[in-house]
Amino acid sequence: MKTITEIRKDFPILNMKVNGKSLVYLDNAASSQKPVQALDAFCRFCESRYANVHRGVHTLGEHATTDYEAARTKVAEFVNAPSSKGIIFTRGTTESINLVAYAFGRRFVKHGQAILLTPMEHHANLVPWQLMAKSVGAELRFWPMKPDGTLDMEAGKKLLDSSVALVAITHVSNVLGTINPVREIALMAHQVGAKVLVDGAQAVPHMPVDLTEIDADFYAFSGHKMLGPTGIGVLWGRLDVLEDMEPFLTGGEMIKEVYLDHATWNDLPYKFEAGTPPISEAITLSAAISYLNDVGMEWVYSHTRALTSKAYELLSQEPGVTVYGPAVDRGPVVAFNVAGIHPHDLAALLDQEGVAIRAGHHCAQPLMRWLEVQATARASFYLYNTMEEIDVMMDAIRMAKKVLRVA
Amino acid sequence: MKTITEIRKDFPILNMKVNGKSLVYLDNAASSQKPVQALDAFCRFCESRYANVHRGVHTLGEHATTDYEAARTKVAEFVNAPSSKGIIFTRGTTESINLVAYAFGRRFVKHGQAILLTPMEHHANLVPWQLMAKSVGAELRFWPMKPDGTLDMEAGKKLLDSSVALVAITHVSNVLGTINPVREIALMAHQVGAKVLVDGAQAVPHMPVDLTEIDADFYAFSGHKMLGPTGIGVLWGRLDVLEDMEPFLTGGEMIKEVYLDHATWNDLPYKFEAGTPPISEAITLSAAISYLNDVGMEWVYSHTRALTSKAYELLSQEPGVTVYGPAVDRGPVVAFNVAGIHPHDLAALLDQEGVAIRAGHHCAQPLMRWLEVQATARASFYLYNTMEEIDVMMDAIRMAKKVLRVA
Amino acid sequence: MSHDLYGEILLDHYRLPRNHGRLENPTITVEGTNPLCGDELTLDLEFTGDHLTNISFSGRGCAISVAATSMLTELLKGKTIHEIEEWTGNFRTFIREGKAPDGVDMGDIQSLAGVAQLPVRVKCATLPWTTLEQGLVRYKGT
Amino acid sequence: MSHDLYGEILLDHYRLPRNHGRLENPTITVEGTNPLCGDELTLDLEFTGDHLTNISFSGRGCAISVAATSMLTELLKGKTIHEIEEWTGNFRTFIREGKAPDGVDMGDIQSLAGVAQLPVRVKCATLPWTTLEQGLVRYKGT
Ligand SMILES: Cc1ncc(COP(=O)(O)O)c(C=O)c1O
Ligand SMILES: Cc1ncc(COP(=O)(O)O)c(C=O)c1O
């Protein structure tokens, strides 16, 4: 087991000084930092095995293809996907969800049917459904939430009837930290014949995720939030559902035969991977997953849970601070506001102390309205954060209150 | 000016041994190798300036945003785009063209109108139009080609009437090497009111490209073919055309305001960049462009032209070899076949000598039918290739003929 | 970067914003938003012929946008449309380059110089200016 | 990697393919393609009850697919459906792992071991086997 000091050494950026202070990076829900192991994997790959994949019969082409497909298997194992053929590399969660909205939604959701969402969805799991619903004449429903920011299961059940074609729901909220009972919801949804998409962008980086157990139809996540690079994400889909879908993006790689006037499609998962895929990103993501595996996802989960509890507690005790979301059983994200300080000012003042938090609507404007705020501050944790960093953050918050003369 | 020896030192992979022989990498049209300068830029960025963009008010967020937007400006200048607001970062040429097919094609091309293509298009610039045409009831037309693989301008003019909504054409053919007169075609198309998309995947890496002069409506290219990373590409669009289009992918970043039931869109170019963009890819691509600028695109063009001429000439003289495409004025791609040897076998046998060429249909099956072949071998050159490497390739071809007992 | 972002002049405008509130009979009321922050700004403009005879603002925003708006109202109240357009140009140069055009004294606005370094915050400081511009366009159109 | 890909056994089958041509009265004719290479394969199968009494192939393909097909026909001609299915399983293991299942002698097919290392070429060697499988399914369905 690596110690936290050893882990921190693997992330060179954590040694940075920001405004003369040691960086305290608490914006992990927006994007995580990358360990040298991942950067090295990228460089090694580019310096010795790079070529385009699935095309060349030359040695580099073989190597690149082998590595790229090994990355697919690595991802499949990491989330215990029933089959690596259901792992489609995309650019990120956003593209993954759009793929489903276009290739599944616009084809299989019918006029008068409903999509069931929650008010805590990230825009990535809301706007694609708005457009899709409008284009086919479907209805959007929203699963009610309890005041603590968890789903009201009883109220939601009433909305989940046989007119629901799809339930699209986040696994972990990027604002409230709420962990939704996606396995239970998938079961309920399947009972009424609805398909289920889970937005796992905030879950896969932070807890062991078992796609076989959750048994949804689609599951989406991003590489850059789990120590991996930008430019890559994953859509996992059930093979039978993917088989029934037409392709989304088209071009090279995803075809079998092309004539001037028509074309036929390649097998899964290639049918959904048009053009040159994110090859070096897949290799880099694979190294990031190896890193997470070495540290252990159970450890990551309990470590960030401890950080979250401490932050939640200290913030709740701080005068003038409102904390949002459930008190327990939450992901490593704590959204809050300080009375009299606009979150942007708070973030800017914390930055003067080297503390990077995020401020804004966190791509969840409807949830902001539900919370009756314009914006919030948000601290989010990852495996390399320490208990001391939370103390630094709290000191910086007190400093900000002083600067802006808030009691 | 760097010498070719100095240039080669910047590409560590070129020192590799393949099957005991020095690597001769002639598969550049599929993807190019990356200079250490680009890899370093990637690592430096991840180790000191990385965060998500456009969101954080903290220092790293500011740095990442500055670098990402500087990369956009760098790209705009490299191709002399009229405005960097028209530069949209995508995953690659394929996604760029699909974006136009969905967001422009499905909205503005009407039943009974036509899309004018050529028979030499890469699948990426063919299959999206097939699906789009089918979905709106439009017709596909194909600009006739002369036997040498150049466009028959007279015959094409006859197809270009006022029923044509869009001309989608490759700038440089990835098989024939043909350089199409895209400026002239854009002028002609605009005269009949048609919009013009140019697939620049094989042009931007290899020659100075001036988007202001070409004056098309859309221009697409990929990072990985121009010394940059996978996972990033560019769609340039005219601002007025982009303004009229609805978004393609939706989610975070591309919105202004989101309500539960509807949303409004962000300004250009963000309207078309949903979700976390390829941030480190943009920074790496920017470094690749700096590298190309340092060497000079005029030099790149004339160097690869010289390589191409030599290869074309030697191959044409070699008994049993058929070379495809025009003899002069061509991009650095030479497709050919050796009588009695399947191109896959040829590529595999060349690989034994360390020579990496590509074999297959090159994502241009309709063009293979036009050439009346199943597949071809293809050698493609870039700034780091040498005249000697072409001799090595020729020797390897003779060796292959011996192994397979071809006269 | 943001070291001197919250200097005394800025904090003064934030804590005691000038021309805050609503006008009774504005010629033009114009609203601006910054979706990233959720900032919402309402400008009440009172024109007499060519002159902006009165101006006030309300809404919610961060310290930078509140202070920037307060400074704008102080600077432009009583100015002619022509002068306002000139100042808008000056401000754009100032915020783009981090310093005022040669020979121009930006007054309190000079204290926003640090914002120019911060692409994400620039919009906070520019919001009142772009909102006012819309107001001018509307007024000229009437 | 592909050092010994084009060994003497493979080249022999490529230059002098066994059972090449068309059958006059095939029970089943089945076609396979490998879109990546453009390879096209036609298998003519003649069954008598449970036995594949005759087999021949035609089409165009690379040396590996031609040799692999030639070897297949040589190995399987005269075998029962049950035996063919067993060999298909053996071949899959062989091509996946680069070596034959314990105790199995793959004969000439052993010379394709290098192909197992080459994901892009594996399809060339597997094409006749997947095509034959489709033929079996069709025959059993009749
Ligand atoms: C002419 C042409 N168009 C489009 C593409 C597709 O590019 P990408 O695979 O990067 O999307 C390619 C490259 O394969 C190409 O050569
Ligand atoms: C819950 C959730 N869904 C979706 C996304 C979008 O992910 P990406 O921007 O990587 O596409 C995010 C991250 O911003 C998120 O937190």
Q: B403, D3: Cβ pair inside 8 Å?
A: no
Q: How far apart are CA B126 and CA B168, in angstroms?
A: 9
- Is the per-residue pLDDT at D54 higher than 50? yes
Q: Give pLDDT, residue B54.
A: 84
Which CATH fold topology does A4-30+297-403 show? Aspartate Aminotransferase, domain 1 (3.90.1150)
d(CA C120, nearest CA chain B) in Å: 6
Distance of CA B70 to the CA centre of its chain: 22
Hey, what are B9's tokens?
């030192």
Name the one residue in this structure whose structure tokens are 């592909």: D2
Q: Which of A48, A123, A128 sits opposite B13 (nearest CB)?
A: A48
Say what the pLDDT of residue C1 is: 38
Nearest CB to C1: which of B56, B62, B266? Answer: B62
Residue bearing the bigger pLDDT, B382 or D33:
B382
- The pLDDT value recorded for residue D1 is 38
Query: Nearest residue CA, atom 16 of ligand 1?
Result: B174
Flag whether residue C12 sits within 8 Å of chain A, measured between CB atoms.
no
Cβ-defined contact of A65 to D119 (cutoff 8 Å): yes
Between B57, B94, B250, which is nearest A351 by CB? Answer: B57
Q: Which two tokens stand for residue D84?
A: 């063919």
Among A232, A234, A237, CA closest to A283 = A232
CB B77, CB B219: distance < 8 Å = no
pLDDT tens for A25-62 read 999 999 999 999 999 999 999 999 999 998 778 999 99
3-state secondary structure of B81: coil
Instruction: State how far Cα B58 lies from the chain centre.
Output: 36
Helix (H), strand (E), coil (C) string for B225-280: CCCCCCCCEEEEECHHHHHHCCCCCCCCCCEEEECCCCEEECCCCHHHCCCCCCHH
Atom of ligand 2 nearest to the CA of A170: 1
Is C2's pLDDT higher than 60?
no
Q: Which residue has the tokens 């017709």?
A: B139
Distance of residue A22 Cα from the nearest chain C Cα, in angstroms: 14
Residues in A closer than 8 angstroms to C14, CB to CB, are: 404
Chains with 3+ CB–CB pairs under 8 A to B are: A, C, D
Q: Give D57's strand partners.
A: D20, D43
Q: What is the mean pLDDT of residues B240-265?
A: 94
- Residue C38: its pLDDT value, please? 74
Nearest to A371 by CA among A142, A133, A149: A149
Contact, C84 vs C52, CB < 8 A?
A: yes
Cβ–Cβ under 8 Å, residues B266 and B275: no
3-state secondary structure C112-135: HHHHHHCHHHHHHHHHHHHHHHHH
Question: Nearest residue of D to residue B369 by CA position?
Answer: D38
* ipTM passes above 0.90: yes
Which one of B19, B342, B361 has the shortest CB-CB distance to D63? B342
pLDDT at B272 (0 to 100): 98
Q: Give bridge partners of residue A380 from the DSSP assignment.
A: A27, A333
D29 bridge partner residues: D44
Residue A389 CB partners (closer than 8 Å, separation 6+): A24, A26, A355
- Residues of chain C with C-beta less than 8 angstroms from the C-beta of B69: 119
Nearest CA in chain B to C118: B62
What is the pLDDT at residue A407?
Answer: 63
Answer yes or no: do B59 and C2 touch at CB < 8 A.
yes
Q: Which of 3.30.930.10, 3.40.50.720, 3.40.50.800, 3.40.640.10 would CATH assign to domain A39-293?
A: 3.40.640.10
Tell me which chains share at least 3 CB pairs under 8 Å with chain D.
Answer: A, B
- Asked if C33's CB is within 8 angstroms of B255's CB, the reply is no
Q: Which pLDDT belongs to residue A323?
A: 98
Reading the block at residue A301, the tokens are 């989960």
Of D35, D117, D120, the CB nearest to A61: D120
- Ligand 2 pocket, mutate which of A122, A125, A367 (most atoms under 8 A from CB): A122
Ligand 1 first shell, C-beta below 6 A: A 252, 275-276; B 29, 92-94, 122, 124-125, 170, 174, 199, 201-202, 222, 224, 233, 363
Query: Tens of pLDDT along chain A (407 residues)?
Result: 899 999 999 999 999 999 999 999 999 999 999 999 999 999 999 999 999 998 778 999 999 999 999 999 999 999 999 999 999 999 999 999 999 999 999 999 999 999 999 999 999 999 999 999 999 999 999 999 999 999 999 999 999 999 999 999 999 999 999 999 999 999 999 999 999 999 999 999 999 999 999 999 999 999 999 999 999 999 999 999 999 999 999 999 999 889 999 999 999 999 999 999 999 999 999 999 999 999 999 999 999 999 999 999 999 999 999 999 999 999 999 999 999 999 999 999 999 999 999 999 999 999 999 999 989 999 999 999 999 999 999 999 999 999 998 86
D35 and A255 within 8 Å at the Cβ level: the answer is: yes
C-alpha span between C17 and B202 (Å, rounded): 57
> Which CATH number belongs to the domain containing residue D86 in this structure?
3.90.1010.10
Whether A199 is in the pocket of ligand 2, judged by its Cβ within 6 Å, is yes
**Total domains in the fold of chain C:** 1
Cα A321 from Cα B263, distance rounded (Å): 31
Per-residue pLDDT tens digits for B282-317:
999 999 999 999 999 999 999 999 999 999 999 999
Counting ligands in written order, which one lies closest to the CA of residue A99? Answer: 2
Quote the pLDDT of residue C3.
47
Among B94, B95, B230, which is best to mutate for testing ligand 1, by the most ligand atoms less than 8 A from CB? B94
Distance CA A14, CA A355 (A): 11
Closest C-alpha among C81, C95, C73, C62 to residue C22: C73
Side-chain-facing half-sphere of B258: CA atoms under 13 Å: 31
Residue C103 tokens read as 């020979």
DSSP output for A230-273:
TT-EEEEE-HHHHHHSPPSS-SSSSEEEE-SS-EEEPPTTGGG-
* DSSP-assigned letter for residue A205: T
* Chain centroid, CA B140 distance in Å: 22
Angstroms from A115 CA to nearest CA on chain C? 26
The pLDDT of residue B55 is 75
DSSP letter for each residue of B309-328? HHHHHHHHHSTTEEE-S-SS
Dihedral sign for Cα atoms in the order B341, B347, B352, B357: positive
Question: Are A62 and D120 an interchain contact pair (Cβ–Cβ within 8 Å)?
Answer: yes
The DSSP call for residue A109 is P
Bridge partners (DSSP) listed for residue B27: B380
So what's the pLDDT on residue D37? 72
B374/D40 touch (CB, cutoff 8 Å), yes or no: yes
Backbone angle region of C107, left / alpha / beta, with phi > 0 → left and psi within -120 to 50 → alpha: left
Contacts of D12 (CB under 8 A, 6+ apart): none
CA atoms within 13 A on the CB side of B86: 23
Mean pLDDT computed over every residue of chain B = 97
Which residue type does B24 have? V
Q: Could you give the residue numbers annotated as active site of A?
A: 363
Query: Cβ contacts of residue A160 below 8 Å, gap of 6+?
Result: A116, A167, A188, A189, A192, A194
Domain locations along chain A: 4-30+297-403, 39-293
Q: What is the mean pLDDT of chain A?
A: 97
Per-residue pLDDT for B156 more than 60? yes
Residues of A in contact with B31 (CB under 8 A): 50-52, 276
Chain B contact for D117 (CB, 8 A cutoff): no
- Which ligand approaches the C-alpha of residue B171 most closely? 1
Task: State the Cα–Cα distance between residues B19 and C61, nearest whole angstrom.
Answer: 65
The dihedral region occupied by B180, where left means phi > 0, alpha psi between -120 and 50, and beta the remainder, is beta
> How high is the pLDDT of residue D34?
83
Ligand 2 pocket check for A203: Cβ under 6 Å:
no
CA distances for C14 relative to A90, A407, C70, C112, angstroms: 45, 16, 8, 12
Per CB-CB distance under 8 Å, the chain B contacts of C121 are: 57
CA separation for the pair B336, B316 (Å, rounded) = 9
Range of the domain at C21: 3-140
Cα–Cα dist A61/B356, whole Å: 9
CB half-sphere exposure, B315, CA atoms < 13 A:
26
Ramachandran area for residue B362 (φ above 0: left; ψ -120 to 50: alpha; else beta): left
Candidates B307, B124, B293; CA nearest to B200 is: B124
Amino acid at A229: P
